[in-house]
Structures are given as structure tokens and as C-alpha cells.
Amino acid sequence: MAGIFTPWKLKDLTIPNRLVRSATWEGLAEADGTPTYELVNVLAALAEGGVGLIITGFAFISPEGKALPKQTGAHIDAMIGPLTRISDAVHKCGGLVALQIAHAGGQTKQEWTGHRPVGPSAIQHPAFGPVQELSKDQIADIIEAFALAAGRGKAAGFDAVELHAAHGYLANQFLSPFCNQRQDEYGGDWQGRGRFVFEMCRAARDLVGPHYPVFIKLNTADYVDNGLELSDALKVAQRLSDMGLDAIEVSGGQPAAGKLGSARKVKEPDQEGYFLDNAVAVKQVVACPVISVGGWRSRAQVEKALEHVDAVSMSRPFIRQPDLAKRWQAGETQAACISCNGCFKVNMTQGLGCAQELKEQAKEGQ
């Protein structure tokens, strides 16, 4: 059993504790994707708060892959300088930071990207609308864009890069029969549907080299009809581990899954860790570290989880309490987050923030 505050390794990177800040869209970039100083301060506060590894909110790797307004960009070399401000600030505060990179695929709107949403197949996405099928040339371009974005993360001084293959975004869309109805080598069985992810990871590895940590956030179930199932996800995870990927953050769900999406309500301790069983299953078939995300709120439940996985990652609790790691190390046992999910609306309107905390501040100001 690994204690919360014992170190672990991500390739050659020593991470001081088992608490990871899971990627959180912050909504704190300029319209062109340049991260603001407010975002730098948010991530630096997490480092000061004792988080073992901070994963940034997903950065888009190409313009048509932008998922949301005010999303950070890693799509052009001009972003390396602004991104360096993030890594420098986190390092000065004693922290470690990974850049998460992603392509939205069909989970976006033309008004946000200036492009028609694209995906593995031409479908009517139930949450976002019509999707245009990618050609093989376009697929090759996107795989190259992932690699180049990973290289920019390394050049900007990030300690690692995480590839996003969860929550219904493009890499997850390729894995899922729900979105991937292709009849060529990028569709069909798990190996065909996994081809995009395998090539994406290989391209990133080839560019950043063998010693730089590269890991992935992987859906292990979509929780939609005809979606990705755990049985296929385990085969994908095993292949990724065999390829030399350095860790797998196990997640699940997507917007079309409704209440079974990636950010469920957590009211009781037994509702915490709602993807833990999947993470344990992944751990049994891979050689690399496994990180479990999904509604962690109490130190006791996290300690139990660490009997089976290498680390846990949290998003919403760190919005309310960036210093939660230090609080737990000092003896506190429970996160203040109540899983209201109000933070999503706050992020859309004013950038990263806790809705409950803002309400309390408003009451104090009356």
C-alpha cells in the first residue's frame, strides 16, 4: 500500500505525492489561445498548495480542434513562449506540471473554431450536431499536429505531456463504435478503431524522444449505446503500455452519457471513485502506472484506492481548494467540494472558479 504522501515515478520524473490535479478547462486564455497571467497564477497556486503533479486544462492542437472559447492553444510555435510562463511559475513554486493536449473532433461548434466539426465518421452528434468525416490525409495531419504540440510542451519546459483520449473528444471518438463507423483501417474492431490513438502516441513519442514522459487520459467506457466498452479499452490500454507509454489516467463517459458522464455528482463516500473498478482492471493488464480519476473527495477513500492504483487525480476539489494537498497532509480528511458542478457555468462566463465559493463571497459582501 502506497501512502498519499509517498513519491512515485513517471518514467524518470519523481512525483512527491500521489495527488494529481486532473486536467480542467479553465477558460482563462485569450481568443487566440494565449494563456493569460490569471491562468499562470491559478496553476502556480496549485503548486504552492502541494499538488504532486498538475495537469493543465486541455490545449488544442489545431484550430479546428478547439473545443471551447478561451481554451489554451498549443497549435503554433508562437505559443511556446506564453506556455513557458506556466512551467516557470509552477517550477518556482516547487511543483511539476504536464501539458494536456487534445482535439475536439465533433464535440465543438463552428462558431468557436471557424471550421465545420470533424470526426471519424459523418454522423449527427447528439450533443453538438453534424460531423464531417475526416479523410486519411486529414487524419495524418492531425496525428502530426499532436506530435508537434507535444514537442511544444517539451520546448516550453513542461515536465510531461498528456494526450487526451477521453470524454468524447477526437481520440475517444475513434475508439468508440458510437462515433466511428469507418470501413477502412481506422475503423472496425478494436485494433482498427485504436489505430488513430496508437499512431498519435507513437508520433508524439518519436518527436519528444525516449526519455520525456508521455502519458494518456483514456476512456475505458463511454456509457452510451454502442459505445466503447471496458473489454476493448483493456486491449487498447495493454497495447499502449507495450508501446512504452508512461502512464494511463483511467476515465470514462462523455456528454451523450448524461448522468454517467465524466463529472458525476458525489454525495456519499461510496459514490467516490466511480471509475476505480475500471482503473483496477487496467492495472492488471499494463506495466505502466495507473491514475484513477472520478469523484474523489475524502482522504480515507483515496487511501483505499491507493491499495490498487498508483495515484488519484481530482479536478473539482482543487477548484475550491487549491491547497487541498497541504490540508490533507496537515490532518484534514475531507474536500470542501460538494460536486454541484456549478464550476462549469462559472468557467464559461468568467473563467475557473467555484460557484459555491462565489455565492459565499457574495453573501459576505451584502
- Position 86 scores a pLDDT of 98
- Distance separating alpha carbons of residues 148 and 152, to the nearest angstrom: 6
26, pLDDT greater than 90: yes
- Position 94 scores a pLDDT of 98
Instruction: Examine residue 114 and state whether it is found in any structural domain, yes or no.
Output: yes
Instruction: Examine residue 158 and state whether it is found in any structural domain, yes or no.
Output: yes
45, pLDDT greater than 80: yes
Residue 132 · residue 122 · CB < 8 Å: yes
Give residue-wise pLDDT tens across range 233-245: 999 999 999 999 9
Arithmetic mean of pLDDT over the chain: 95
- Position 6 scores a pLDDT of 97
Instruction: Examine residue 358 and state whether it is found in any structural domain, yes or no.
Output: no
Run of H or E including 143: helix 136-155
**Sorting pLDDT into bands at 50, 70 and 90, what band is 363?**
confident
Q: Is 187 exposed, middle or buried (0-12, 13-18, 19+ CB in 10 A)?
A: middle
- Across 346-353, average pLDDT: 82
Residue 273 · residue 294 · CB < 8 Å: yes
**Sorting pLDDT into bands at 50, 70 and 90, what band is 132?**
very high
Residue 220 CB contacts under 8 Å (≥ 6 apart), including other chains: 228, 230, 233, 234, 237, 250, 251, 252, 275, 278, 279, 281, 282
208, pLDDT greater than 80: yes
* Number of domains comprising the chain: 1
Range name among 23-27, 210-214, 322-326, 347-351 with the lowest pLDDT average: 347-351
- Position 366 scores a pLDDT of 59
Q: DSSP state, 80? A: H
- Across 115-130, average pLDDT: 92
Residue 123 CB contacts under 8 Å (≥ 6 apart), including other chains: 106, 130, 131, 179, 181
362, pLDDT greater than 80: no
State which residues form the domain around 296: 8-335
Instruction: Examine residue 56 and state whether it is found in any structural domain, yes or no.
Output: yes
> Residue 131 sits in a domain of what CATH number?
3.20.20.70
Q: Which residues of 129-168 are buried (b: 16+ CB within 10 A; e: fewer)?
A: eebbebeeeebeebbbbbbbbbbbbbebbbbbbbbbbbbb
Give residue-wise pLDDT tens across range 53-102: 999 999 999 999 999 999 999 999 999 999 999 999 999 999 999 999 99
- Position 1 scores a pLDDT of 55
13, pLDDT greater than 60: yes
Instruction: Examine residue 49 and state whether it is found in any structural domain, yes or no.
Output: yes
Reading the block at residue 180, the C-alpha cell is: 466511428
Closest CA to 17 of 287, 324, 334, 252: 324
